[in-house]
Amino acid sequence: MLKILLPVDGSDNARKAVADFIPLLNWYAEKPELHLLNVQYPLRGNVALFINQADIKQYHQEEGLKELQGTRALLDQAGVAYQYHIVVGDPAEMIVRFASEKQFNQIVMGPRGAGGIQGLLLGSVTSKVMQLASTPVLLIK
Amino acid sequence: MAFDSPQFWIAVLQIIAIDIVLGGDNAVVIALACRRLPEQQRKLGIFWGVFGAIALRVVMIFFALSLLTMPYLKIIGAALLVWIGIKLLQPEAEGAHEIDASTTLIGAIKTIIVADAVMSLDNVIAIAGAAKDDIGLVIFGLIVSVPIIVWGSQMVLKVMDRYPVTIAIGAGLLGWIAGDMAVTDVVTKDWVSTQAKYLQWVAPVSVALLVIAAGKMLAARKPAKPAPLEDLVDDKPKQ
């Protein structure tokens, strides 16, 4: 079965890309396996000196779930099955690593997420993923 | 310093920038230390944590101001700022420590006090350096840091995550202030202003560049052995 990775941050842009992708699922001969991926930035500065690892993980997990919520609701509503994942690190790097280590066949994402400036051709995360990924990337504009 | 002098406004901007760059993680620690407490206690913990952070800054900055008039101490302060600036540019080290997760209000407050003390220190040295002995500016710097600690931290950290250049600017600014402190110490001031006036701007510029260059180099040298991917969701495929 084809494995497709859909990176999502909490932004409307990312949600829209997934929404636009749902009707395109008919393109695939066999129903692909969909995986949502949310990447949380590591906490900066001295936080790790004072806060327990388990608490930090739980914090990242909660923040990630919040950011995934909108997209998950969308997929649930459309009746599309999916799995979801949350990892911590640099977004573009983690997306690329996750896709290659877990052997995904395709990455599907919008041109920009929360970080991109409107009007900019490509957001920084998307353009970095396209540069670094050895997995094919489908850009939904 | 007068209101109409450019130095005054430069110092104001420097202080705001320092508060932004160095104040953000303090609020995160307070929030995280309190997250396991029951609702009512959590509010108490956050309130006293923020109060403590601000009170510690006030106390420490007045200590700092009198200490900085002593010979050599500005030079030591400058060295500390260089170190803080370089550290700011390093990728964060996670997972090295095992800290007890406190589920009591007392435990959370203990964590917060220690964190407040450590995190206020760098902020205080930098503000004292930027304010150049102007007590009005010092108070201004403290007042500006309050809303940043209380409300602004999430936003500040998001901006720093998404636009890493802001961190480099912050580190450079710390270097700038360090350079300025080094040439205005009691033991260097007279010599610089009579013998080598150019150092008054050469030192800040070169120390700022040094901090950015050293920080970037160290960050690049860190062995990029990627930590194993850890999925924080244990999500088995739904049947």
Count Cβ atoms within 10 A of the Cβ of residue B84 and give its class: 0-12 exposed, 13-18 middle, 19 or more buried: buried
Residue B109, domain extent: 6-92+101-219
B177, part of any domain: yes
Token pair recorded at residue B183: 């040439």
CA–CA separation, A53 and A61 (whole Å): 12
d(CA B168, CA B21): 10
- Is B56 within a domain? yes
Mean pLDDT, to the nearest integer, of B150-175?
83
Domain spans, chain A: 3-139
CB contact under 8 A, B233 and A64: yes
Average pLDDT over residues B188-208: 89
For residue range A13-71, list pLDDT tens digits in order: 889 999 999 999 988 888 899 999 999 988 877 777 788 788 888 889 999 999 999 99
Do A4 and A32 contact (CB within 8 A), yes or no? Answer: yes
* Residue B224 is assigned to a structural domain of this protein: no
Tokens read off for A87: 């990892």
* B231 found inside a domain: no
Residues 6+ apart with CB under 8 A from A14: A7, A8, A71, A109, A110, A113, A114
- Mutate which of A8, A40, A49 to disrupt the B interface (most B C-beta within 10 Å)? A49
Query: Using 50, 70 and 90 to split pLDDT, how confident is the model at A76?
Result: very high
CA atoms within 13 A on the CB side of A98: 28
Instruction: Determine the distance in angstroms separating the CA of A6 from the nearest CA of chain B, rounded to an integer.
Output: 15
**pLDDT level of residue B225 (50, 70, 90 thresholds):** low
Q: Is residue B41 part of a domain?
A: yes
CA B24 to chain A, closest CA, distance in angstroms equals 9
Residue B95 with chain A: CB contacts under 8 Å: 48, 53
Report d(CA A15, CA A69) in Å as an integer. 10
In a domain, B163, yes or no: yes
Is the pLDDT at A75 greater than 90, yes or no? yes
Tens of pLDDT, residues B130-158: 887 788 888 888 888 878 777 777 777 77
- At B239 the pLDDT is 39
The pLDDT score that the predictor gives to residue A68 is 94
What's the CA gap between B227 and B180, in Å, rounded?
40
Whether residue B235 is contained in a domain is answered as no
Predicted confidence (pLDDT) at residue B102 exceeds the cutoff of 70: no
- Which has the closest alpha carbon to B85: A47, A42, A45? A45
Contacts of residue B190, Cβ cutoff 8 Å, sequence gap at least 6: none
Whether B39 is covered by a domain: the verdict is yes
pLDDT at position A108? 94
Q: Which two structure tokens, joined as six digits, stand for B108? A: 């959370």
The Cα of B119 is separated from the nearest Cα of chain A by a number of Å equal to 8
CA B35 to CA B31: how far, in whole Å? Answer: 6
How many structural domains comprise chain B?
Answer: 1
ipTM computed for the complex: 0.73
* CATH architecture, domain defined by A3-139: 3-Layer(aba) Sandwich (3.40)
Strands A33-40 and A83-88, bridge-based pairing: parallel
